[in-house]
Structure 1
Amino acid sequence: MLIGILQTGQLPEALRPSLGDYPEMFAALLAHQDLEFRTYHVEGMVFPADVRDCEGWIITGSRHGAYEDHPFIPPLEAFIRKAYEAEVPMVGICFGHQIIAQALGGRVEKFDGGWTVGTQPYDFEGESLTLNAWHQDQVVTLPPGAEIIARGETCAIAGLRYGDRALTVQAHPEFGDAVVEGLMETRARGVVPDALLERAEGLVGSPKDNDVLARKIGAFFRRDRA
């Protein structure tokens, strides 16, 4: 099954030689899910010609806000709406979670409780999962057709399911601890409160459930939609 990765951001340049970037991280996360990948750097205005050019889509994380004025956001929202209407399955991660919600009628805002970084516990419909996160923005209003499937201690809408059409999560299952450590060194100092960084540093090396979410994503894409 061919999955298009719509890349909406990049890791800091200093991290890419050792960690790769979003396409490499998703390919590694989903390596055992019988999926193939093709990347479109939509942040750089490289878009697929048609929503059916791939059999499913992943929308990545980004340092940008979904509500900000960037050239790639309006065409990305239009693409999301077309894919949704055509019932081509989409998975959104962090910014991808937010932009799908916004494109379909929800609302995204900067969380007044501040940042969420590093290892976080989530309740996925009664299943406890631990995943890395890195965000300040959150979905605050559900779009029509969306059902909450995950909640976190600092994120009330941490996962959404739109029937068979879209599955989105606020956390980063593609982030290993090395990515979190790298972001703390390159983007966080003076931006994220020191207490949150100390907490994140203290949880580096603790178990994560990235593989569990990888299986959920793979199963969602392979679901029979005939």
Structure 2
Amino acid sequence: MRLTIVQTGDVPEPLRDNFGPYHSMFERMFDGTGRDFSYQVVGVEGNSLLPDPQHIEGIVITGSPAGVYEDHDWLPPLREFIRRAYAAKTPMLGVCFGHQIMADALGGDVRKSEKGWGLGRHTYRVTGRPGFMADAPEALSVACSHQDQVIVPPAEADVVLASDFTPNAGLFYKSGKALSFQPHPEFDDEYARALVELRRGKAPDAVVEKGISSFTDASDSERVAGYISNFFRLATA
């Protein structure tokens, strides 16, 4: 299956030499699932044109430092791309900002949360078990890095992951062709930890220290990557 990775942001400059471009993290994640994926990477800034979603096999929308409420000239075309993809029932995944812009484009409410920064490995309750994650345990622990949140999901979306900090952390859409997560299953622990350290001076010290200590908890990122792979397999069946 060929995935079109819509890269809406990149690894922060201080970390880029050590961790490479952001799209490669998704490619490694999908390659690790053992299924046959290939990749096309499309940027959103500059004069890049998004492809016609009716003519691509699957979509991945990445994280970004941008907020959906900001004034970027690439946001309206991306919203339209998401709406067209949803209408065409093209399988689509969003992660972090991708999760937020999908919700925003499809009728939800996304804002900077009054709860502040979510950093480190968070644990989310599994609140729904669609077929691609039918064997999910009661909770899943995955790295996150965000301030914005989906405050109100679109009417088309059901919540499948939730926590007290992030009540709408995972959304599966009623079409069966769209899925999104606030946390980052594509992050390995080394990068996720470096990203928390990079937030020193921006996030409160106590939040940073709690984020660093959270990596002693076991990660479920590989399991979530498997669910995502299952989702794409079932969505294209």
- Offset at 1:205? 4.6
- The total of aligned residue pairs comes to 225
- Offset at 1:52? 3.0
TM-score (norm 2): 0.90
- Offset at 1:57? 0.2
TM-score (norm 1): 0.94
2:140 alignment partner AA:
L
- Offset at 1:178? 1.6
Please say if residues 172 and 179 of structure 2, whose CA atoms lie closer than 8 Å, have aligned partners that are also in contact.
Answer: yes
**Given the superposition, is the C-alpha separation of residues 115 and 45 from structure 1 closer, same or farther in structure 2, using an over 3 Å criterion?**
farther
Please say if residues 29 and 210 of structure 1, whose CA atoms lie closer than 8 Å, have aligned partners that are also in contact.
Answer: no
1:91 alignment partner AA:
L
Q: Within 5 A, what are the aligned runs for 1:86-97?
A: 86-97=88-99
1:146 alignment partner AA:
A
Secondary structure of 1:108's partner?
A: strand
Please say if residues 92 and 168 of structure 1, whose CA atoms lie closer than 8 Å, have aligned partners that are also in contact.
Answer: yes
Structure 2 Cα separation of the partners of residues 128 and 119 of structure 1 = 12
- Offset at 1:7? 0.3
Secondary structure of 1:40's partner?
A: strand
**How large is the Cα RMSD of the aligned pairs?**
1.5
**Given the superposition, is the C-alpha separation of residues 50 and 116 from structure 1 closer, same or farther in structure 2, using an over 3 Å criterion?**
same
Secondary structure of 2:167's partner?
A: strand
Q: Within 5 A, what are the aligned runs for 1:53-64?
A: 53-64=55-66
The answer for the alignment partner of 2:226 in structure 1 is 215
Please say if residues 120 and 196 of structure 2, whose CA atoms lie closer than 8 Å, have aligned partners that are also in contact.
Answer: no
**Most deviating of 16-25 and 55-64:** 16-25
- Offset at 1:142? 1.6
Please say if residues 4 and 41 of structure 2, whose CA atoms lie closer than 8 Å, have aligned partners that are also in contact.
Answer: yes
Q: Quick one: which of 110, 113, 136 aligns to 2:112? A: 110
Q: Quick one: which of 164, 167, 189 aligns to 1:177? A: 189
- Offset at 1:208? 0.7
- Offset at 1:198? 0.5
1:76 alignment partner AA:
L
Structure 1 Cα separation of the partners of residues 64 and 51 of structure 2 = 22
Q: Quick one: which of 212, 216, 219 aligns to 1:201? A: 212
**Given the superposition, is the C-alpha separation of residues 29 and 225 from structure 1 closer, same or farther in structure 2, using an over 3 Å criterion?**
closer
The answer for the alignment partner of 1:69 in structure 2 is 71
The answer for the alignment partner of 2:18 in structure 1 is 18
